[in-house]
């Protein structure tokens, strides 16, 4: 939506018309401003049409709604898990299964691989529960891979206790490491155990009856990715910006938008 204040004809105007236009300008009322609502449906660009836009115009944006004020606050993030027990061959690096995407914004899960849509600095956390049914302690290892390559310094290990009576030994292993990712990079979690009986174990939810009390299920693996901040080097950003200017229109680039009333005011200079 653009403003439609009266303007002077090219050949000039009478004093009354000149006074009206000048007074409007003094009061900040001009036709080089308006409102634009970002496209929805996961769109990443919105086109602003205004005849005053040129190739060198400066276009300033200001949020006009709660949704717009929050734009850029919600950065890419995802939570992925696997709900069944995972077994491994001894001393054989194996990709950890991630069967369910609980939430995924600007990233996707396919074949236990998480691919990010935008470049940035990501905080990545993995948690897994190892069980050991044997009478001796055993070791388990986890690490991250990016684009199929082991990431240095990301490995962690845990010594899983031996079975005591009828209770299997168990230990959680938490793996946390920041990763600087490019758009379309993919992340995997790899695991190795020194005995094939050591497994990443899941437990189903309990209900009453027949169980003594109700509780949620326990996943065998959980992976969380959260963008800490976008990469300015590769051109990604959390805030909308003007990515292209042409005669009569401009392109606003933004993170995937599915929120209605994501409305900004704008002003065009030059």
- Min mean pLDDT across 16-25, 213-222, 254-263 is at 16-25
**Residue 136 pLDDT:** 97
**Model confidence pLDDT, tens digit, residues 103-126:** 999 999 999 999 999 999 999 999
Assign a CATH topology to domain 77-230. Answer: Jelly Rolls (2.60.120)
Q: How far apart are CA 87 and CA 167, in angstroms?
A: 19
19 pLDDT band, cuts 50/70/90, is low
**What is the average pLDDT across 38-63?**
93
Pick from 26, 114, 38, 47: nearest CA to 76: 114
18 pLDDT band, cuts 50/70/90, is low
Q: CA 194 from chain center: how many Å?
A: 35
**Helix residue ranges per DSSP H, 38-117:** 66-69
pLDDT of 9 strictly over 90: no
Q: Which residues, 6+ apart, have CB-to-CB distance to 185 below 8 Å? A: 115, 116, 146, 147
**Model confidence pLDDT, tens digit, residues 159-168:** 999 999 999 9
**Residue 2 pLDDT:** 57
**Model confidence pLDDT, tens digit, residues 76-102:** 999 999 999 999 999 999 999 999 999
The residue ranges of every structural domain in the chain are 28-72+239-269, 77-230
Asked if 81 contacts 99 with a C-beta cutoff of 8 angstroms, the reply is yes
**Model confidence pLDDT, tens digit, residues 61-75:** 999 999 888 766 678
**Which tops the pLDDT comparison, 208 or 201?**
201
Task: Using alpha carbons, list the distances in angstroms from residue 181 to 85, 153, 187, 203.
Answer: 30, 16, 9, 33
**Torsion angles phi and psi, residue 39, rounded to 5:** -60, 150
What is the average pLDDT score of the chain?
Answer: 89
Q: How far apart are CA 192 and CA 203, in angstroms?
A: 21
Peptide bond into 265 cis (omega under 30): no
**Extended beta strands in the chain, E state:** 33-37, 43-49, 58-63, 77-82, 94-95, 100-105, 107-110, 113-116, 120-132, 138-146, 149-150, 156-160, 169-181, 186-193, 199-200, 221-230, 241-246, 249-257, 263-269
**Residue 94 pLDDT:** 98
Peptide bond into 106 cis (omega under 30): no
**Model confidence pLDDT, tens digit, residues 126-155:** 999 999 999 999 999 999 999 999 999 999
**Model confidence pLDDT, tens digit, residues 171-204:** 999 999 999 999 999 999 999 999 999 999 999 9
**What is the average pLDDT across 9-30?**
62
Percent of the chain with pLDDT over 70: 86
């Amino acid at each position: 939506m653009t403003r439609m204040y009266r303007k002077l004809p090219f050949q000039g105007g009478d004093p009354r018309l000149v006074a009206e236009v000048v007074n409007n300008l003094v009061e900040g009322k001009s036709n080089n401003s308006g409102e634009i609502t970002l496209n929805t449906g996961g769109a990443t660009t919105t086109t602003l049409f205004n005849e005053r836009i040129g190739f060198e115009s400066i276009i300033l944006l200001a949020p006009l709604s709660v949704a717009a004020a929050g734009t850029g606050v919600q950065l890419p993030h995802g939570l992925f898990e696997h709900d069944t027990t995972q077994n491994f061959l001894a001393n054989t690096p194996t990709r950890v299964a991630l069967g369910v995407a609980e939430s995924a914004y600007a990233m996707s899960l396919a074949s236990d691989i998480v691919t990010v849509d935008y470049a940035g600095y990501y905080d990545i956390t993995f948690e897994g529960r190892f069980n050991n049914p044997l009478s001796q302690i055993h070791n388990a290892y986890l690490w991250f891979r990016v684009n199929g390559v082991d990431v240095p310094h990301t490995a962690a290990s845990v010594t899983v206790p031996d079975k005591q009576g009828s209770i299997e030994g168990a230990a959680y292993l938490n793996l946390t490491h920041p990763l600087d990712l490019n758009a379309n990079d993919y992340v995997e979690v790899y695991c190795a155990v020194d005995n094939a009986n050591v497994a990443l174990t899941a437990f189903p939810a309990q209900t009453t009856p027949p169980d003594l009390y109700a509780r949620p299920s326990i996943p065998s693996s959980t992976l969380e990715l959260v963008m800490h901040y976008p990469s300015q080097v590769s051109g990604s950003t959390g805030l909308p910006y003007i990515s292209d200017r042409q005669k009569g229109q401009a392109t606003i680039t933004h993170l995937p938008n599915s929120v209605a009333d994501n409305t900004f005011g704008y002003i065009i200079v030059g």
